[in-house]
Amino acid sequence: MTAIAIALRSVSRRHGSGDSAVTALDDVSLAFPKGTFTAVMGRSGSGKSTLLQCAAGLDRPTSGSVLLGGTELTGLSEKNLTLLRRQRIGFVFQAFNLLPSLTAEQNVALPLRLAGRRPPRAHVREVLDRVGLADRARHRPSRLSGGQQQRVALARALVTRPEVLFADEPTGALDTRTSRTVLTLLRAMADDEGRTIVMVTHDPVAASCADRVVFLVDGRVDGELTGAKADDIATRMTGPEVLPC
């Protein structure tokens, strides 16, 4: 039986209360096997980013449970949850979240420093080289393009060698060539290193690099495709919607 890296069991996430409450996730159950690459797709407001944040322990579900391997995330204290994320989870934010006063090299090394570990410079440079930025190691974010900043953010997520990598639109700010490089790297992490990749994307071409594509509509899982090509994914995404009268 294939081991499960991350499992969501009847997860719901609501914001607010009463008549103004908004349901971002509605009774979602999903499993992500170890060593697989999953893309999560859906229109704006479908709950994609909320799913990623709940699965990564960055947001707590209103109800339901999230398990990383055999560890129940929803029952951990904030301190223990932070320690677990530092040791076992990587997250690439859509907004990069780089510290402007630090160089690319220092930004990448930051997760190791926060974990109380002395970052080996050779390892930090190796990770930057993997995303094609070895020659930008001493540049601050203000001297990097949006695409370069995104790759620094990816390198920062990879530096701890996480079991599971969550990526929110990791190719959104990249040109076609750089996107291909990043997607090839993510694919190799799953195939060659046995890491689990969960990626939110709007791009059918990016999603076609994944083993499967999970679709969300209004906070609910609305089916999935396995081993699909970009054209099939695009057709699925732009299919007819039934609107209320």
Q: What is the pLDDT of residue 241?
A: 52
Asked whether 32 and 198 are in contact (CB, 8 A), the reply is yes
Domains of the chain in sequence order: 4-237 (3.40.50.300)
- Please determine, for residue 19, whether its predicted confidence score (pLDDT) is greater than 80: no
The pLDDT of residue 245 is above 50? no
Distance of alpha carbon 131 from alpha carbon 105, whole angstroms: 12
pLDDT on residue 150: 87
The pLDDT tens digits for 31-80 are 999 999 999 999 988 999 999 999 999 999 999 999 999 899 988 999 99
* Averaged pLDDT score across all residues of the chain: 91
Per-residue pLDDT tens over the stretch 115-140: 888 888 899 999 999 888 999 999 99
What pLDDT, on the 0 to 100 scale, is given for residue 123?
92
First and final C-alpha spacing in the chain:
46
What DSSP assignment string belongs to 190-244? HHHH--EEEEE-S-HHHHTTSSEEEEEETTEEEEEEES--HHHHHHHHT------
Q: Specify burial of residue 75 (Cβ count, 10 A radius: 0-12, 13-18, 19+).
A: exposed
Q: Give the model's pLDDT for residue 1.
A: 58
pLDDT of residue 242: 41
pLDDT at position 95 is 83
The amino acid present at 190, given as its one-letter code, is A
Characterize the bridge pairing of strands 71-72 and 63-68.
antiparallel
Spatial contact of 97 and 153, defined as CB atoms under 8 Å apart? yes
Query: Within its chain, how far is the Cα of 235 from the centroid?
Result: 24
The pLDDT score that the predictor gives to residue 126 is 93
Tell me the pLDDT band of 187, cut-offs 50, 70 and 90. very high
